[in-house]
Amino acid sequence: MDYPLSTLRSFADVAMDFRKLEPWKYWDERQYFGIENDRSGEIDWVSIMGSRGEHRSLVIYLGVQGFQGFNKLVAGPDDFGTETDQRDTVLNQIMLKIYYGNRNEMEEEDLEIFKRLKINPKGQYQFFQVRSFMPYHYPVMPDQVQLKYITDVLRISILLFEDYQKAGLQLVEGSKHLMLRSLENERNLDFYYEEPPALQAELALPVLHPFLLNRIKREVPRSDDLEHCFGVMILTRPIKEEGDDCPVFPSLLFSIMRDSGQIHRIQLIKDSSDHGALQKFMLEELTALGSIPATILIDSSKAALILESLCDELGIEMFLAPDEEEFTDFAEGILKMNLE
């Protein structure tokens, strides 16, 4: 990204000032605070990572969607879902992030910043890497507006940390979290406390392909003995086609014959946020099978939410069973191929 030198220098100066404070020694990533974003009109949520001595970062989770993603990331193992759900959570984030690491962790575009500024940091964790994350997209360098916003948030965070050390300012007051409106001047923060937004329950999707559904109801017989497996896997290797701004993480939709483990059908979907694609895939698969199964097994909570309404309409009993041999063998084979 070809940033103006003045913008880049302002960012680098405040990024290095923030690093010197080492706030991760005092704050836990769950002690987040909010900042009113004048541009979006939403509250963005800032978390300082690194209290466990690794992954020293400042992360800005953007708006309500970003906050939802943050809460999934910090949830306990019992709330994190299956391995497929975990992968989906990690890749389905909307945030801005600055990470502090060593030179060997930086990519060429990161090192170019230091070359332009003619600085060569010494010591551990003195280099920084800044990225913009969008759902199912490979992280990229932020644009100029985003970089200026990250600079402002770093500057605010420095003032907040200084007040935190000197005046004992609390990030959390009961169930309420610290909220920052703006900078009234160069040294004082305008703040108040407020409860973060309630977590939004994930709802089953309505039937998105009624024509296909009604045709199956009319033409496809039911089989009380048939069981089938359906799943969705987000691949860890991104793809980029001509015209794409950045690489994306595609999804692999699949169906497996129960017990035999035979893969019956696979389809690659470039847009992992296109939940209707899995519904359509299932309906087309039932047409190809020529039978409506009595039971289907699902590999993830996400797939279950997407297919729940279809199963209700077709009278299919659905079970979340990610540990079934059919799923584990398939996942092991696909991930191995994906990483090679």
Q: Are residues 176 and 314 in the same domain?
A: no
How are beta strands 33-36 and 176-183 bridged, if at all?
parallel
Q: Residue 71 corresponds to which tokens in the numbers above?
A: 């809460």
Residue 205 domain-assigned (yes or no): no
Q: Are residues 170 and 122 in the same domain?
A: yes
pLDDT tens digits in sequence order for the chain, 340 residues long? 789 999 999 999 999 999 999 999 888 888 889 998 888 888 999 999 988 877 899 999 999 999 988 988 877 555 557 878 888 888 899 999 999 999 999 999 999 999 999 999 888 899 999 999 999 999 999 999 999 999 999 999 998 888 887 777 778 888 888 888 755 445 567 788 888 888 777 778 899 999 999 999 999 999 988 899 999 988 888 998 888 888 999 999 999 988 788 889 999 999 888 889 999 999 999 999 999 999 999 998 889 999 999 999 999 999 998 888 888 888 787 767 665 5
Residue 83 domain-assigned (yes or no): yes
Q: Are residues 95 and 165 in the same domain?
A: yes
- Cα 181 from Cα 191, distance rounded (Å): 6
Q: Residue 208 corresponds to which tokens in the numbers above?
A: 């998105």
The pLDDT value given to residue 225: 86
**221: three-class secondary structure by DSSP:** coil
Q: Give the residue from 143, 165, 194 where a domain finishes.
A: 194
The pLDDT value given to residue 12: 95
- Cα 186 from Cα 188, distance rounded (Å): 6
35 in Cβ contact with 144 (< 8 Å): no
Q: Which residues contact 298 (CB under 8 A, 6 or more apart)?
A: 229, 230, 231, 304, 307, 318, 319, 320, 321
Q: Are residues 169 and 218 in the same domain?
A: no
Buried b (16+ CB within 10 A) or exposed e, 234-249: bbeebeeeeeeeeebb
Q: Give the residue from 145, 160, 194 where a domain finishes.
A: 194
62 in Cβ contact with 42 (< 8 Å): yes
**Exposure on the CB side of residue 83, measured as CA atoms within 13 A:** 12
283 in Cβ contact with 267 (< 8 Å): no
Residue 202 domain-assigned (yes or no): no
Q: Are residues 149 and 228 in the same domain?
A: no
The pLDDT value given to residue 138: 93
Number of domains present in the structure of the chain: 2
Residue 279 domain-assigned (yes or no): yes
Q: Are residues 227 and 160 in the same domain?
A: no
Residue 203 domain-assigned (yes or no): no
Residue 137 domain-assigned (yes or no): yes
The pLDDT value given to residue 209: 93
The pLDDT value given to residue 187: 57
Q: Are residues 15 and 162 in the same domain?
A: yes
The pLDDT value given to residue 90: 87
The pLDDT value given to residue 27: 86
For residue 242, what is the domain's CATH number?
A: 3.30.420.10
How are beta strands 189-194 and 263-269 bridged, if at all?
unpaired
- Cα 150 from Cα 156, distance rounded (Å): 10
Residue 200 domain-assigned (yes or no): no
pTM confidence score? 0.89
Q: Which residues contact 205 (CB under 8 A, 6 or more apart)?
A: 275, 276, 279, 305, 306, 308, 309
Task: Please state the φ and ψ torsions of residue 213, each to the nearest 5 degrees.
Answer: -60, -45
Residues facing residue 222 across a β-bridge = 292
Q: Are residues 150 and 242 in the same domain?
A: no
The one-letter amino acid code at 171 reads L
Q: Give the residue from 169, 194, 219 where a domain finishes.
A: 194
Parent domain of 290 = 210-339
The pLDDT value given to residue 286: 94
- Cα 154 from Cα 150, distance rounded (Å): 6
